[in-house]
Amino acid sequence: MTTPVVSIAYHSGHGHTAVLAEAVRAGASEAGAEVHLIKVDEITDAQWETLDRSDAIVFGSPTYMGTASGAFHVFAEATSKRWFGQDWKDKLAAGFTNSGSKSGDKLHTLQFFQILAAQHGMNWINLGLHPGWNSSAGSENDLNRLGVFAGAAAQTNVDEGPDAVHKSDIATAEHLGRRVAQAAGVFTRGRVAA
């Protein structure tokens, strides 16, 4: 059996998004994937090669000024070398983000990731969860408490550090990691069978 390879390409300005990246890693690892954390602002040639051999790439960034961070945009532009040859075509993709506001225009960041993936010919894996915390019986401790479908979204108060990332948001990111790893497993087994 082939072990799926999942890479998490992320930027974290103040450590909050790194907490989510670690949660995605934990979920994907728990689901049986070989997982690599790649800080896009420190990416090496060897890490580019890891992305090239990955079955799935999960993009992560804080949401700053309504979009992914500048460091992530630099990385996205650098992927154009892969775009020319369609090197990432048919890989799986997913994404996660964090901002200080409950909305904070996080959806725009996730849509930016989706478009980046689409330009590469990748297949997007959504969160696959109903929204939480949207009824009188719900609570802030529900999975997907912010009600985002496109990927994992988190909110952390701007005056608190990475240790304040909400436990539900961490669990939601772990769920995303498991979902991506499970889909990558099906994908790699299918590719081997074909």
What does R_g of the chain's alpha carbons equal in angstroms? 16
Q: Which residues pair with 64 in a beta bridge?
A: 67
Residue 153 one-letter amino acid:
A
Give the C-alpha separation, 106 to 68, whole Å.
Answer: 9
pLDDT values of the chain reduced to their tens digit, one per residue, 194 residues: 689 999 999 999 999 999 999 999 999 999 999 999 999 999 999 999 999 999 999 999 999 999 999 999 999 999 999 999 999 999 999 999 999 999 989 999 999 999 999 999 999 999 999 999 999 999 999 999 999 999 999 999 999 999 999 999 999 999 999 999 999 999 998 887 88
CA separation (Å) from 165 to 73, 121, 151, 185?
24, 32, 17, 29
Contact predicate 96/176, CB 8 Å? yes
